[in-house]
Amino acid sequence: MTRQIVLATHNAHKVEEFHAIVASTRPDLEVIGYDGPEPVEDGVTFAENALIKARAAAAHTGLPALADDSGICVDVLGGSPGVFSAYWAGHAKDAVANLNLLLDQLADIRDPGRTAQFVSTIALVVPDGDEHVVEGIWPGRLATEASGVGGFGYDPIFIPDEQDRTVGEWSAEEKNAASHRSRAFRALTPLLAGL
């Protein structure tokens, strides 16, 4: 029997990515999109923002809700953009502008000073009030220029550890098997057993 779980995002890229990740490990769960009001993400951590979104979706739909808050954390920038990754170049959420601004800020930084990691924090909120938070970290470094047309956001400049290609050059299947979201979801999988 299939059980529905709502993904608390209006980001079509995240919905597509989650569908693929969940289908590979929990085919009994049907991830459905969220069409309710978007809450104000005023948390200062990935966990706070993920919980804000998951609580809103669970309350609106009456279904268990997953929410991901994620971003890229650059070591030389003290972990920034972090929770501000989607807004790094302003509130327009312009992915190309965000990427270009980050490249510009790091223009004078050479390896090994270009280390970074993608972080994904996933919150699971069940309408009865049960809440869980897990995290997935994908370490790597930043390229000096964008390469590849796959993925989204900062993928064209992120090179995972022990790799020589940006995630923008990977297939969706490669990314979904290794990404920060897939790592977080694997940590969450045991918690989904009770659904």
Q: What percent of the chain clears pLDDT 70, i.e. is strictly above it? A: 99
Write down the pLDDT at residue 31: 87
β-strand partners of 124: 66, 132
* Separation between Cα atoms, residue 121 and residue 46, nearest integer Å: 6
Tokens of 154: 């900062």
Which residue, chain included where needed, has tokens 């601004």?
Answer: 101
- Any residues with CB less than 8 A from the CB of 180 and at least 6 apart, and which? 70, 117, 118, 119, 120, 136, 137, 138
Per-residue pLDDT tens for 58-106? 999 999 999 999 999 999 999 999 999 999 999 998 999 999 999 999 9
Write down the pLDDT at residue 147: 97
CATH of 3-194, one of 3.90.950.10, 3.10.20.30, 3.10.28.10, 3.30.1050.10: 3.90.950.10
Average pLDDT of the chain to the nearest whole number: 93
Name the residue ranges covered by the structural domains of the chain.
3-194
pLDDT band at 57 (very low <50, low <70, confident <90, very high): very high
Residues with a known catalytic role: 69
pLDDT band at 1 (very low <50, low <70, confident <90, very high): low
